[in-house]
Structure 1
């Protein structure tokens, strides 16, 4: 690749100098950064542990998934969605869009490269990123590589690892237990009593899909949740909120959203869907909790096809006891309990990220750290937030690249100095 030069072997680990940023993650965030850098004439290398781009979308999402927001709020920088795509593109269409994006900007990630550690070497002023192969030769030390470069971009995102809570008695349950990342369709659960743990967008949509395949879902709603209509009079609620935010304070926009929700959906609390005291936009901005945009599940809740139940006390063989004393017969359990960042597992010697894997500095200033470290896709604001981070990151790196570093001279000098320290 043009961005690499001067490879050499050091015992069993191959070291590679990267003449540009090292980007960890080939999801939408990583692709967007690489594309924006390329537009500025800055080369980069993307390291991806899977064997494809956007592995979350390609391998860990359910079949019926569509973008929950209109496409104009989900497009990556410098490349709009095709005009013939619907307002809410399907999973397949979004993957096609990402593949077209990578092709358009000639972004070619290095696949099957799982980052084990990334640390800043103060001696030579460079980042050292160690990977191991995840393909057929995974675990073979001869396939360990250390990438060395001036900048590091963490782009693994907010959804890198699944979250599965530890619940009393689950090991004795005996039935099928899975996470939503492994769920594809309700066809496999036809006729079964399924406990869906979680009531976010995934939990609601999975429960709806189960109903459509003649399963019998019970959805665990432990905490309060905002349920909003996806559209009002054919207009996206999210788009309306963005428009109102240009003129009104956040608290007032929240009030308007809740009034529209009540007029459109009615009183959802009588179905066990208790609303938080904080408004939906304020809750999203302060705690990252996304409101549920209803795509049909609420009608199934009203009809009783989706049973809303409180928190879980413990599991028994083929049964679950709830905190209110109910005992349900259950064949399968699906955890729609979300994902988390995995940055703390591999980023070493750095306090830019907190223990929960998000930048310590809140939005909108959490995209840049010290020593050439950047974070893209950790804003809790979806693809729009990731795109904004990508643009800022690329502009910042390009400014240094063009005005200060004189890449050819700098790369040769730093490479020699770093080799002497290995």
Structure 2
């Protein structure tokens, strides 16, 4: 069975909800297809101690401030899930759950969205699938020969699984620092390795400053001015309280990246070896865009060329929430609102044409 709507939004996490909010305000008929069984997007799958980088009031989607979490300056993931569930309900957003989008095809004046629950024909599509389902693992010599446990950020639930084990945490970004700190506070004493010395942002810097930096960079680039460097110019790690406490206690001393994995551990550049029970790869993600394979739009690093949020080679398609290339800080709660509004306005204009 094929159903019809003006716009299909793929993904019911924060980016998809922001798109739905603005489409609803403009009176644009749409449906939000979400593969998850419950509201909350990727936030419902993170580790228990994960904290936002900003206070609640600076971590909000358009139209509704996130309530303050009692006893927490920086809300945890469970609080975010509750907020997103309430947001979806408050604005009566048309989310259909446990619908897996398999492919998107051109179909004359329409785009056909094929799912495991039937097809949809739409005049425009917003992709808001994020990156969580596409963890990136680097090519490291010996990785396939290592007999210990290997997992990515997406599989980390908490330190209890590693009690008494020798653990290496790989990655010099926020996830690596937060997971290393989480383990250290639980007495696991991880070995934290990074490709370059950790770069902490100033302790008073949080998501508000990061959003402003990302926005300033985008404006400079759009105006043809010198690249400001954006967030990357400030550092790699936001010193949220657990990270700051572990760092100041001397629990977060990073070592340079090892050169290879052995069957039972790691080997460093000087030839020394260490026995390891588990390696946690905090090595980032790639955009989840496999559903667009038939459109042949993919470019470098798995991205689709965009102008703002609109795909250059398919103007009926908008991409939202994948990072700065689809809007300044668009992968954050506070940052996704503006590009979502611009995408909704662009789509409304397209539908009127």
> Structure 1 pair 346/52, CA: closer, same or farther in 2 (3 Å)?
farther
| Counterparts of 1:103 and 1:293, CA distance in 2 | 32
* Residue 74 (1) aligns with residue 74 (2): no
2:12 maps to which of 19, 22, 26: 26
The residue correspondences of 1:51-70 to structure 2 (distance < 5 A) are: 51-59=37-45, 61-70=46-55
* Residue 343 (1) aligns with residue 289 (2): yes
Checking the alignment, whether the CA contact within 8 Å between 2:213 and 2:231 is kept in structure 1 is no
> Structure 1 pair 326/284, CA: closer, same or farther in 2 (3 Å)?
farther
Q: Secondary structure at the match of 1:113?
A: coil
Q: Compute the RMSD of aligned alpha carbons.
A: 2.9
Q: Secondary structure at the match of 2:334?
A: helix
| Counterparts of 2:30 and 2:203, CA distance in 1 | 38
> Structure 1 pair 310/297, CA: closer, same or farther in 2 (3 Å)?
same
In structure 1, the residue matched to 2:148 is 175
Checking the alignment, whether the CA contact within 8 Å between 2:56 and 2:69 is kept in structure 1 is no
> Structure 1 pair 347/26, CA: closer, same or farther in 2 (3 Å)?
farther
> Structure 1 pair 238/390, CA: closer, same or farther in 2 (3 Å)?
closer
Cα offset, 1:75, TM superposition: 0.9
| Counterparts of 1:213 and 1:180, CA distance in 2 | 18
Checking the alignment, whether the CA contact within 8 Å between 1:180 and 1:335 is kept in structure 2 is yes
* Residue 94 (1) aligns with residue 80 (2): yes
> Structure 1 pair 282/114, CA: closer, same or farther in 2 (3 Å)?
same
In structure 2, the residue matched to 1:315 is 261
Checking the alignment, whether the CA contact within 8 Å between 1:23 and 1:45 is kept in structure 2 is yes
Checking the alignment, whether the CA contact within 8 Å between 1:164 and 1:337 is kept in structure 2 is yes
Checking the alignment, whether the CA contact within 8 Å between 1:130 and 1:146 is kept in structure 2 is yes
| Counterparts of 1:290 and 1:34, CA distance in 2 | 33
| Counterparts of 1:356 and 1:25, CA distance in 2 | 21
Checking the alignment, whether the CA contact within 8 Å between 1:217 and 1:307 is kept in structure 2 is no
Checking the alignment, whether the CA contact within 8 Å between 1:189 and 1:213 is kept in structure 2 is no
Cα offset, 1:243, TM superposition: 7.2
The residue correspondences of 1:33-52 to structure 2 (distance < 5 A) are: 33-52=19-38
| Counterparts of 1:245 and 1:68, CA distance in 2 | 15
In structure 2, the residue matched to 1:392 is 342
1:191 maps to which of 151, 164, 173: 164
**TM-score scaled by structure 2?**
0.84
Q: Secondary structure at the match of 2:260?
A: strand
Cα offset, 1:163, TM superposition: 1.0
Checking the alignment, whether the CA contact within 8 Å between 2:214 and 2:231 is kept in structure 1 is no
Cα offset, 1:303, TM superposition: 5.0
> Structure 1 pair 21/96, CA: closer, same or farther in 2 (3 Å)?
same
Checking the alignment, whether the CA contact within 8 Å between 1:163 and 1:339 is kept in structure 2 is yes
In structure 2, the residue matched to 1:274 is none
Checking the alignment, whether the CA contact within 8 Å between 1:367 and 1:375 is kept in structure 2 is yes
Q: Secondary structure at the match of 1:356?
A: helix
In structure 1, the residue matched to 2:274 is 328
Checking the alignment, whether the CA contact within 8 Å between 1:158 and 1:339 is kept in structure 2 is yes
The structure with the largest alpha-carbon Rg is: 1
Gaps of 5+ in 1: 1-13, 133-142, 251-278, 405-422
Checking the alignment, whether the CA contact within 8 Å between 1:158 and 1:377 is kept in structure 2 is no
| Counterparts of 2:193 and 2:147, CA distance in 1 | 19
> Structure 1 pair 383/241, CA: closer, same or farther in 2 (3 Å)?
closer
1:372 maps to which of 302, 313, 316: 316
Q: Secondary structure at the match of 1:229?
A: coil
In structure 2, the residue matched to 1:305 is 251
Checking the alignment, whether the CA contact within 8 Å between 2:135 and 2:286 is kept in structure 1 is yes
Tell me how many residue pairs correspond in the alignment: 335
**TM-score scaled by structure 1?**
0.71
> Structure 1 pair 210/339, CA: closer, same or farther in 2 (3 Å)?
same
> Structure 1 pair 285/200, CA: closer, same or farther in 2 (3 Å)?
closer
| Counterparts of 2:94 and 2:303, CA distance in 1 | 27
Cα offset, 1:214, TM superposition: 1.2
In structure 2, the residue matched to 1:147 is 120
